[in-house]
Amino acid sequence: MTKLKLGAIPDDKPIKVTLELSAALHRDLVTYAEVLSRETGQTVSDPVRLIVPMLERFIATDRGFARSRKATASS
């Protein structure tokens, strides 16, 4: 197999995902948005906008995932 100098090209294009939230989770997002608005002074008009930063934060701070990712990358 040929070893190319150019590696995989990252796909930075946003991906649209449709999902269903339980009513309880949606209520929690609404409450979270209200608390965040009070703490930061920045109004969060649509609590659904919290999902992406929450997922990013979750993945960034999951130590088990980081170890697994590092082990996979070094294989």
Residue whose token pair is 């701070």: 61
Residues 4 and 30: their CA atoms lie apart, in Å, by 48
Check residue 9 and give its pLDDT: 63
Distance CA 33, CA 25 (A): 12
pLDDT at 18: 94
pLDDT digits (tens, 9 = 90+) for 14-68: 889 999 999 999 999 999 999 998 888 888 889 998 998 999 899 989 989 888 8
What are 12's two structure tokens?
């930075």
Q: What's the pLDDT score for residue 21?
A: 96
The backbone torsions φ and ψ at residue 23, rounded to the nearest 5 degrees and listed phi first, read -60, -40
